[in-house]
Amino acid sequence: MSRATRLIRTLDKALASHTSFGDTPEAFVDELVTMLEDDLDSLKAKNKPKSWAEIYVERDRALIKQEVLNRVMALGSE
């Protein structure tokens, strides 16, 4: 398993442990980044372009998912 995959799985697991993020989900970001420090250090130490590409793809997936869910929510409020 690549270091990027490990980091993404750890992040997903941490996010799944919450049933709600309240009105300010961005308040959890610093806590999660701190929790991921070991994985981040490992990722930076290897500094493989393939790992960073995996991170970019995961970020893009998250942005697309956010847009789709925003549209679904908009449909629900019509």
Tell me the pLDDT tens digit for each residue of 14-50: 999 999 999 999 999 999 999 999 999 999 999 999 9
**Residue 54 contacts residue 8 (beta carbons within 8 Å):** yes
- C-alpha 77/C-alpha 63 separation (Å) is 21
Query: What mean pLDDT do residues 49-59 have?
Result: 96
Q: Is the pLDDT of residue 56 over 80?
A: yes
Contact predicate 8/58, CB 8 Å? yes
- B/e letters for 15-54, b = 16+ CB within 10 Å, e = fewer, are eeeeeeeeeeeeeeeeeeeeebeebeeebeeeeeeebeeb
| Domain count for the chain | 1
With tokens 């997903």, the residue in question is 12
- pLDDT of the residue at 50: 95
Identify the domain containing residue 28 by its residue range.
3-76
pLDDT bin (cut points 50, 70, 90) of residue 77 is confident
